[in-house]
Structure formats: structure tokens, C-alpha cells
Structure 1
Amino acid sequence: MSVGLVVGESAPDFTLRDQFGADVALSSFRGRKSVLLLFYPFAFSGVCTGELHQVRERLAEFVTFDTEVLALSCDPMFSLRAYADSDGLNFPLLSDFWPHGEVARAYEVFDEQSGCPCRSSYVVDREGRLTWAVHNAVSVGRDLDEHLVQLRAAAEA
């Protein structure tokens, strides 16, 4: 299975609800911030929890005046609220619940067999272009240092 969009293309825009029920549109960052999109399979699962804890611990490195991080799963908004509250996750967790996986499909990272996104990441620059992507096996956590390098590069471009 081929996974993911081609770097250099325009990032598909979307509006999803975060864990508080607020709408978050990717296009709202255009012209202002580069965005790191973290697609993850399931809230409360082991690898995902470990990754998102690491993002939480390093949030000041990820979120600046020039950069933003958005984590996306197909979990319902209320599950994401419980997840954020229980794990102290203080950045946007976006629900791609309904239509189920629509945004993950637009980014070509939806796993039809499992009904969830693949463990994929994209960096979107201020102009809305995809500048970097990586797709990990579901059981393999991300290299957050490399994510930071790529996010900063997009912000400085």
C-alpha cells in the first residue's frame, strides 16, 4: 500500500473539532504559521500515548509564534477530551471521526483495515504546501528531533 501525499503539493484544507469542541481549520494558520500534522491511530494506545507525552514535554519547542502542532485521530471528540484530561495533553487533538477518516483519506494515510490513520506526519509551510512527510509503522514511534528540524526549516523558509 502506497501511503501519503507528495511533498511540494498543497496541503488539503480541513476543519475539525478539537477536544474542547472548537473548530480548527488548517487554513487559519496560512500566512502566519507552519504546522506539524501528527496523524496517530488511537487515543489511549501505548505508542500513541508515549509519543504525545513526549510532544507535551517538549511543547515549547514545537509551538512558537511561527509554528503549531495539530494531532489528528479518528477518535470521537469526547474520547479525545478524556484522553487530553487524563494525560495532560495541552495542544489540539483533532477528531476526524465523522465523516469517519475523511481528512486521513485526503492525506492518503487512512488504514481501511484498521479504521484509523497510519502513524504519519506532515509539515505544512505558511503558504499551505507540504514540505516534509514521514510514515512510520504503527508500532514504531516517531523521531521527534527530526520533526522539530523539519518544522523549524519550514518556519524559517
Structure 2
Amino acid sequence: MSDTLTPRQTPIAAGEIAPDFTLKNQNREDWNLAEHIRTNDVVLCFYPLDFTGVCGVENECLTREMDRWSRTGAVMVGVSCDSFAAHKAWAEQMGFKHTLLADMHRHVCKAYGLYWPELNVARRGTVVVGKSPDGIGRVKWVQAREPGQAMNFDEVIAAMA
């Protein structure tokens, strides 16, 4: 469960076991990491807040690049500390087609070392978790980014090769 995760002070590193979690998506449905990595790589795209500039641009790109993500065999999800209700409203307003996960208690961003304590939100970062039939995934690639720095999609795609 997401409430038993161990917080860390630095971002998770490639090769480490990815902490499993279950969060609600924008439709209030449970989304579990272990379930998804049994059949696909998973790209966790952490971002600070819904309805903000860089986060909006980045998530628009995630939706626009859905075909490219699918060709890699990866499942891509956005993760922030906003509620599932905020995610739903934002996704509908922006026309997002990808899943947004609500880390309202900050357990997941803290467990991945992507917590921004000064603002009490997730830090911008991307974590690629490798496919694992037993549901115990290892981090293949991670990038913690500075505020305002958007994801480089080509780098993420290359990390999944």
C-alpha cells in the first residue's frame, strides 16, 4: 500500500527496486504499479501541480506522444499531489488521454525521492520502471529535473531501448 512506503532524501537510482504503490487515477480507480509492470515498462512522470504552465505543456506532450509511447510497449502515467477530482477536471479541460495518479498524501513522491518540501508537492522527474513478470520492478532510468525544466522525450524513449 502507498501509506507504508519509506521516504528517501535523494532521488531513486537506476538498478534499485521500484517501490510498489497503489494510487487513485482521475476516475477514482485504483492503479497499481506491480500490476502494470508484469506486462509493460512503466514511465512515471512526476510533476508539481495541475493547472500550471510547464506541467500543462509537459502533459499535453505526453498525450500527443501516446502513439510513440505505445510503440515502445510502455505505459506512461503522470503523478502529482493533486486530488483525483482536480486531475479529472484538468484532464477534461486539456483533453488529456493518459492516466493521472493522485499522490495526495505524498507517500509515492517521497518514496521515489522526488518530493519538494518547500512547496509540499512532487518534484519534476521521470522514472522508467522495467517490465517484470513477478511484479518486482527495477528502475531502468531516472531524471530529477529543476523547476521549469520539461522532460526530454527522446531521452526517455532511448532509456527504454
TM-score by length of 2: 0.89
Partners of 2:79 and 2:128 in 1: how far apart? 13
Partners of 2:48 and 2:110 in 1: how far apart? 13
Task: Find out whether 1:93 has 2:93 as its counterpart.
Answer: no
- Could you tell me which residue of structure 2 aligns to residue 82 of structure 1? 89
Partners of 2:37 and 2:123 in 1: how far apart? 25
CA distances 1:87-136 after superposition (whole Å, capped 9, x unpaired) = 01111100001xx2110011011111111111011000012100100011
1:53-72, aligned counterparts within 5 Å?
A: 53-64=60-71, 66-72=73-79
Aligned match of 1:141 in 128, 150, 153? 150
Amino acid at match of 1:79: A
Q: Is the 8 A contact 1:35 1:125 kept in 2?
A: yes
Q: Is the 8 A contact 1:33 1:65 kept in 2?
A: no
CA distances 1:69-103 after superposition (whole Å, capped 9, x unpaired) = 01100001100000000001111100001xx2110
Partners of 1:136 and 1:146 in 2: how far apart? 13
Aligned match of 2:139 in 123, 130, 133? 130
Amino acid at match of 2:120: G
Amino acid at match of 2:14: V
- SS at 1:13's partner residue? coil
1:11-90, aligned counterparts within 5 Å?
A: 11-64=18-71, 66-90=73-97
Partners of 2:10 and 2:94 in 1: how far apart? 29
Q: Is the 8 A contact 1:3 1:135 kept in 2?
A: no
Q: Using a 3 Å threshold, how does the CA distance of structure 1 residues 120 and 65 change in structure 2: closer, same or farther?
A: closer
- SS at 1:12's partner residue? coil
Q: Alpha carbon RMSD of aligned pairs, Å?
A: 1.2
TM-score by length of 1: 0.91
